[in-house]
Amino acid sequence: MTLRKDFLWGGAVAANQCEGAWNVDGKGMSTADCMVASHHGVQREFTDGIIEGKYYPNHEGIDFYHHYKEDIKLFAEMGFKCFRLSIAWSRIFPNGDDETPNEKGLEFYDHVFDECLKYGIEPVVTISHYETPYALVEKYGTWRNRKMIDFYLRFCETIFKRYKNKVKYWMTFNEINVNGFFPEMTMGLRIKEDENRNQVIKQASHYEFVASAKAVKMGHEINPEFKIGMMMMYPTFYGETCKPEDQLCAMEQIDKQYYFSDVQCRGYYSNKAKASWKKEGVVLDITDEDEKALKEGVVDYIAFSYYNSNVASSREDVECTDGNMVNAVKNPYLKASDWGWQIDPIGLRIALNNLYDRYQKPVFIVENGLGAKDQVKEDGSIDDDYRIEYLKAHIQAMKDAVEEDGVDLMGYTPWGPIDLVSCGTGEMQKRYGFIYVDRDDLGNGTLKRSKKKSFDWYKKVIETNGEVL
């Protein structure tokens, strides 16, 4: 078995990290617009609205809103078969609960998709990617309110019908399992100290599951050719030792992630999920109609992000790495990135096998990459061999999963084909791209685009369908 002839090579971005133009052409404020810049080791602050004197890097991003033609042309030069991007909900429905959509917002994505299709690039669209109209936070508490299902479905119906002949591949929510530990970012939740955190998160997640399932069913009715997937962050977990308690700990950690994918891929909550409710004192509002919807709206494929693996330990006095989104024990056998993310290509192969074996649905790697500090030489060139080395090893592991293990893999879209604002820290110096953007952590710079060494390398990878690495 080799990679499909129609393998979807490309790259992935999110609207809130690249578009900018945060209040242009009728766009409303989103939760991502309230994220303050930070740095390595310090979690970003979410403010209540915009506070004067604080720096919000997402407001301008890399101004993809005005540079999309130039950027997509560069993606086409690399030979992209697809481009994963998201639609900013507040660009289409500024307040989230509006009766009618913002035409200017719809037109923008028409132009972006047309530009992609001009070069034979398939748009792969994430419907909700870490941003929710901020008005929904103030008015409804976002996803803690069942009304959110209808608001989300109105958004989905609008974009499904508008782009039914331009977009084939969709994902309902980005990294939905991150709800479990960072719901402020994923769902815009504001949880009070005296609340049962698990109760709030799991109830909100349930409403998202129902919304996703109903969107899948609706999408297939609007265009039976649509392929609609779920998307999760996949953190491969190893037990620190062969001590049974460590192995149990690793199992428990990954089960917390499967809680989310199980519902979307199988259409029901597992016995283990239900057992967790009892343990955590969680009582969910689940109707018969909800259960029917979950069964009827199972996803077509599983998309996931993979950057690093994690170690689980039953010991309390262990050294943790601060880089991984899931704060986990340091692995002495692995190197780490400048931001402490542990580099493990074999972990990607394990992730692919685990997901495909568990669900028997096509899988799609929609994020993978290395955040690093790039140095621009006097002649303007950027030698990012470290990025090439990282990606090469992960693509080889991906190929091994297909060729040796028989995994059905749809495509590969490394994160950040162009430099953009870091999600976790709001930095620009944490660069992922094949394309350099002249902008720093304080918002200074010309926004000029330039190719890194990895640009031509990735072009060759795509050209040979992964045969030349």
Predicted pLDDT at 44: 86
Tell me, what's the pLDDT at 340? 83
> Per-residue confidence of the chain (469 residues) as pLDDT tens digits?
789 999 999 999 999 999 999 999 999 999 999 999 988 778 888 899 999 999 999 999 999 999 999 999 999 999 999 999 999 999 999 999 999 999 999 999 999 999 999 999 999 999 999 999 999 999 999 999 999 999 999 999 999 999 999 999 999 999 999 999 999 999 999 999 999 999 999 999 999 999 999 999 999 999 999 999 999 999 999 999 999 999 999 999 999 999 999 999 999 999 999 999 999 999 999 999 999 999 999 999 999 999 999 999 998 877 766 554 555 688 999 998 888 889 999 999 999 999 999 999 999 999 999 999 999 999 999 999 999 999 999 999 999 999 999 999 999 999 999 999 999 889 999 999 999 999 999 999 999 999 999 999 999 999 999 999 9
Catalytic annotation present for 184:
no
Domain boundaries in the chain? 8-463
Active-site residue, selected from the candidate residues 115, 208, 367, 427: 367
Listed in sequence order, the residues at least 6 apart from 265 whose beta carbon sits closer than 8 Å to its beta carbon are 230, 298, 299, 302, 358, 359, 361
**Block residue for tokens 């042309």:** 73
Catalytic residue among 175, 208, 240, 427: 175
**Beta-ladder partners of 411:** 8
CB proximity list for 295: less than 8 A, separation 6 or greater: 213, 267, 268
Q: Is 260 helix (H, G, I), strand (E, B) or coil?
A: helix
* Residue 7 neighbours by CB distance under 10 Å: 18
**What's the whole-model pTM score?**
0.97
Show the beta-strand stretches assigned E in 181-313: 227-233, 236-239, 301-305, 309-312
CATH number (1.25.40.10, 3.90.320.10, 3.40.50.360, 3.20.20.80) of 8-463 reads: 3.20.20.80
E strands along 196-299, which residues? 227-233, 236-239
CB 210 within 8 A of CB 153: no
- b/e burial code for range 119-131 (CB count within 10 A of at least 16 → b): eebbbbbbbbbbb
Q: What is the pLDDT of residue 317?
A: 79
Is 221 a residue of the active site? no
- Structure tokens belonging to residue 379: 């002649």
30 CB-near residues (< 8 Å, 6+ apart): 16, 22, 88, 89, 90, 131, 132, 133, 134
